[in-house]
Amino acid sequence: MAENVVIVGAVAVGAKAACRFKRLRQDANVTIIDKDELISYGGCGIPFYVAGDVSDETELRSTSFHMVRDEKFFLNDKGVVAMTGTEVTKIDRSNKKVHIKKSSGEEVDISYDKLVLATGSVPRKLDMPGTSLKNVFNVSNLRDAIAIKKKITQGEVEKAVIIGAGFIGLEMAQALADMWEIETTVIEYFDQVMPGFVSHSISLMAQRCMEKNGVSFHLEEIVQALEGDEYVAAVKTNKRTLPADMVIMSVGIVPNTILAKETGIDTGPGGHIIVNDRMQTSDPDIYSGGDCVVIKNLVTGKPAYIPLGSMANRQGRVIGTNLAGGDARFKGGVGSFVVKIFEKSLAGAGLTIDVARKEGFDAVSIQVAQFDRAHFYPEKEIIYLELVVDRKTRTVLGIQGWGGEGSEMVGRINAVVPLITNKARVEDVSNLEIAYSPPFASAMDIVNALGNTTENFLDGMYKPMQMDEFVECWESRDNGECFFLDCRADADAIPFQEKFPEIWKSIPHDELERRFDEVPRDKKIILLCNTGIRSYEAQINLAAHGIEDTVSVESGISGLKDCGMEF
């Protein structure tokens, strides 16, 4: 067992590993080294600090009992020596030493029995002019956050441009637009927000919600330069030039593994440190975790980069246990996430349909819309869930969703995560035991309905039309190939019928059995209702009468409207 543990990096994984190890080995020495003076902070809290929800940066580096986690705290409360403002410049593995350089300029060697590399990540850099202009920021550490907030609170920012529509980009956009009423525009290279994390239709729901709250978006747009003298004044893309007095770069992060590479530890193609399930690197005396490593994706079995504070914390504990001679394992992850979008939330886990297909799965996805609580309960809202499954094996590959004002969405995603991890089948989603009481769920909860609906699709009973297909179909509606059959009550459907008399017809579902004659047999029938329940039943009824060329629009009019569709 180790007597001297040295840890490089003192934000999430490093601090956790240090404290866990010290609790297990009160007699041992632990030193954590960080080049910054601000350590052990909750990086995921930065957007909330910028927004003003968190009033002071010290809160992000305090304990729940309001002690600031500084050198003194680590020493007195944890028995851990923290050396801040100190850079590790070299690792000498043969002599088991690290070479450090203090802010004072002093350089010394420190010996270790076991070493932990918790060097985290650095912002991905875009290769274009102007990134060094003033008022161009990353959101990679607490100093960036403090600088951004200072600019804002001084009233120096009127127009902000955010480059990148991932987690951080969306959270920062909200922070600026909502709390500070800054004119905020997000530019994204891909054709949707949260690319790789949710499907196109779910991304649209999040985007529309943000637009309603004042954030502008330009998708499929390439930023070519940041313009200005000294201070940034505009963002030039391949399509336009946007004035901006602040630019936030949130185009992702890359692992900070220079030290690891220099000392010859195995890294992968992306530069990430490779670790086993004990979080050990290729050098058994050196552990690593957090934003600088790849872990195992439990869906694909391949290496995955999941740089999240929660992953780092759990890995840190595993490292701490193993440093003390234990045998803890970190099996990997499925990349579950949640992001608050104004009053709603976007969450998911596992693979999206696009990623699943790229990974070689014969994947299909099914989306359903349903109230988050019993439909008779006064407080409720329609939320959306999408399941990604492998067609042949019926294995669950991923789940994503939109909606809910509290933990409704993330709670459901979390409940399905163990199923994804265990390679469960769609039937397990149908029968998943979701605790029921009207203020919390439906008797047949949306999670179960999602499983049921996916089963129905796989069994050939249900032929859905997805949002993208509907939009395409709607745009070419004048070609006379499709007919829109609205299964809602007349009060909802008649206005559509009156507006589009040639192609749209109201036949409430409970009248369908006696009005089959009114359904055209020479056209593709696009069945619609509010969320997709009645249109699904209508599809079955029509099939029994020999009308087979039908589709039922997934998530119904409700889903289309939440995707921004206007009729």
- Binders in 322-361 for a second copy, by CB under 8 A: 328-331, 333-334, 336-340, 345, 347, 349
Sole binder of a second copy in the list 444, 472, 481, 515 (CB under 8 A):
444
DSSP-derived 3-state class of residue 324: coil
Least CB distance from residue 492 to a second copy, whole Å? Answer: 9
Q: Locate tokens 């294995």: which residue?
A: 395
Least CB distance from residue 418 to a second copy, whole Å? Answer: 4
Q: What is the DSSP string of 151-163?
A: HHHTT--SEEEEE
Sole binder of a second copy in the list 128, 431, 498, 520 (CB under 8 A):
431
Sole binder of a second copy in the list 37, 63, 92, 211 (CB under 8 A):
63
27 forms part of the interface with a second copy (CB under 8 A)? yes
Cβ proximity to a second copy, 390 vs 445, nearer residue:
445
Q: Is the dihedral of CA 400, 401, 405, 411 positive or negative?
A: negative
Please list, in sequence order, all residues whose beta carbon lies within 8 angstroms of the beta carbon of residue 254, skipping any fewer than 6 positions away. Answer: 121, 122, 123, 124, 270, 271
Residues in 476-505 at the binding interface with a second copy, rule: CB under 8 A: 488-489
73 forms part of the interface with a second copy (CB under 8 A)? yes
3 forms part of the interface with a second copy (CB under 8 A)? no
Least CB distance from residue 510 to a second copy, whole Å? Answer: 4
Closest by CA to 41, choosing from 138, 116, 145, is: 145
- Cα angle 453, 420, 427 (rounded to 5 degrees) comes to 35
Q: What distance lies between CA 84 and its chain's CA centroid?
A: 31
Least CB distance from residue 246 to a second copy, whole Å? Answer: 23
Reading the block at residue 498, the tokens are 């009156």
Cβ proximity to a second copy, 130 vs 350, nearer residue:
350
439 forms part of the interface with a second copy (CB under 8 A)? yes
Which ranges in 56-130 belong to alpha helices (H)?
Answer: 57-60, 71-73
Least CB distance from residue 529 to a second copy, whole Å? Answer: 7
16 forms part of the interface with a second copy (CB under 8 A)? yes
Q: Tell me the per-residue interface mask from 520 to 549 with a second copy, x by CB under 8 A, - otherwise.
A: ---------xxx-xx--x--xx-xx-----
Cβ proximity to a second copy, 239 vs 331, nearer residue:
331
Stretch that binds a second copy, among 103-111, 120-128, 186-194, 306-314 (CB under 8 A): 306-314
Least CB distance from residue 374 to a second copy, whole Å? Answer: 6
Sole binder of a second copy in the list 418, 498, 515, 518 (CB under 8 A):
418
CA distances from 30 to 109, 257, 353 (A): 15, 22, 45
Closest by CA to 561, choosing from 213, 174, 204, 193, is: 204
Cβ proximity to a second copy, 236 vs 521, nearer residue:
521
36 contacts 313 by C-beta, under 8 angstroms? no
Q: How far apart are CA 70 and CA 62, in angstroms?
A: 9
Least CB distance from residue 318 to a second copy, whole Å? Answer: 8
69 forms part of the interface with a second copy (CB under 8 A)? no
Q: Locate tokens 């009160």: which residue?
A: 26
Burial class (CB in 10 A: 0-12, 13-18, 19+), 459: exposed
Residues in 350-409 at the binding interface with a second copy, rule: CB under 8 A: 370-371, 374-378, 404-408
Least CB distance from residue 133 to a second copy, whole Å? Answer: 30
Cβ proximity to a second copy, 199 vs 315, nearer residue:
315
312 forms part of the interface with a second copy (CB under 8 A)? yes
CA distances from 461 to 79, 271, 392, 473, 551 (A): 63, 47, 16, 22, 11
